[in-house]
Amino acid sequence: MEGASITIAQALLLGFFWWFKTNYYGQTFTCFISNSCLTAALFVGIVLGDVPNAMIIGASIQLIYLGILGPGGNLPQDPVLATLVSTAIVLKSGMPVETAFAIAVPVGILGAQILSLIRLINTTWIHMADKYAEKGNTKGIYLAGLVYPSLARIPITVTPVAVAVYFGAAHIDKVLAVIPEWLMNGLTVAGGMLPALGFAIVIKIIGKKELLPYFVAGYFILKLSGIGILPLSIFGVIAAYLHIMFTNKDSGEVIANGNAN
């Protein structure tokens, strides 16, 4: 997993990936990476030339954010930034995957603060667009609504990612050398617990008593039958559909009316 230092070009590419994620061009091109650790990890793997290990790290980090919620559209953490930085540093330093969790969590919190700063700056462009609208300047509205905000985000989003992965990957060994072994072991253990926390949050959100048997059954079927995760997921979707159809009163009435016709 350990390799050469990250180049400036690679660091900038990772930075522009996060910039692209924050633009939300009509939710068309960026919706599939808006909060996907796997997509971010795939990009890191392509840039750094180690897709398999990057996906392993990204999948592990994704478990932390399974139950993440964004009240009012504001996420408490940014999973994409957390994945970009932690995956790149772990890939180039050779640290265990569990250590990526200890890096991802604080970086994700920082990412949420940066996104809040971006929203604050965006108010400037809104007032500018209003002035253009009063003058009937459609080109000005377009510039203030899309071009100017996108350009202003470049230093805000690209710089922290590029600096973090470039200098972090290059000097992480020096940092690790001064960290006591007991603290590193503690971070590793704590990191290993975070995916379980992600699962617990999901269960808390969707864990209705009448649905828990499905969760337990799925777990034991996966462990004891040897069935792959993909066919079991397809079976789960079918089971969920049937459950809704046969337990929803409105759906039952629709089925009954259909049979009557």
CA 173 – CA 177 distance, rounded (Å): 6
State how many domains the chain has: 2
Tell me the two tokens of residue 39. Answer: 């997509």
In a domain, 189, yes or no: yes
What's the confidence (pLDDT) of residue 245? Answer: 84
In a domain, 2, yes or no: no
Asked if residue 113 and residue 151 are part of one domain, the reply reads: yes
Q: Is the pLDDT of residue 191 over 60?
A: no
Residue 114 vs residues 35, 77, 105, 151, 160: alpha-carbon distances, Å: 15, 10, 15, 15, 9
8 Å CB contact between 107 and 164: yes
Asked if residue 59 and residue 82 are part of one domain, the reply reads: yes
Q: Which residue has the tokens 């953490």?
A: 77
In a domain, 27, yes or no: yes
Higher per-residue confidence, 4 vs 37 = 37
Asked if residue 45 and residue 118 are part of one domain, the reply reads: yes
Asked if residue 83 and residue 155 are part of one domain, the reply reads: yes
Residues 6+ away with beta carbon under 8 Å from 39: 32, 33, 80
In a domain, 1, yes or no: no
Q: How many CB atoms lie within 10 A of CB 91?
A: 27
Asked if residue 217 and residue 132 are part of one domain, the reply reads: no
Asked if residue 246 and residue 126 are part of one domain, the reply reads: no
8 Å CB contact between 81 and 108: yes
How buried is 52 (Cβ within 10 angstroms: 0-12 exposed, 13-18 middle, 19+ buried)? exposed
Higher per-residue confidence, 20 vs 254 = 20
Question: Of 164, 185, 206, which residue sits at a domain end?
Answer: 206
Per-residue confidence band for 254, with pLDDT thresholds at 50, 70 and 90: very low
Asked if residue 130 and residue 103 are part of one domain, the reply reads: yes
Asked if residue 100 and residue 87 are part of one domain, the reply reads: yes
Model pTM?
Answer: 0.67
What's the confidence (pLDDT) of residue 28? Answer: 59
Question: Of 187, 206, 225, which residue sits at a domain end?
Answer: 206
Q: Give the chain's end-to-end CA distance (angstroms, integer).
A: 63
Q: Which domain holds residue 217?
A: 208-261
In a domain, 235, yes or no: yes
Asked if residue 63 and residue 136 are part of one domain, the reply reads: yes
Asked if residue 242 and residue 126 are part of one domain, the reply reads: no
Apex 152 CA angle, 149 and 153, nearest 5: 90
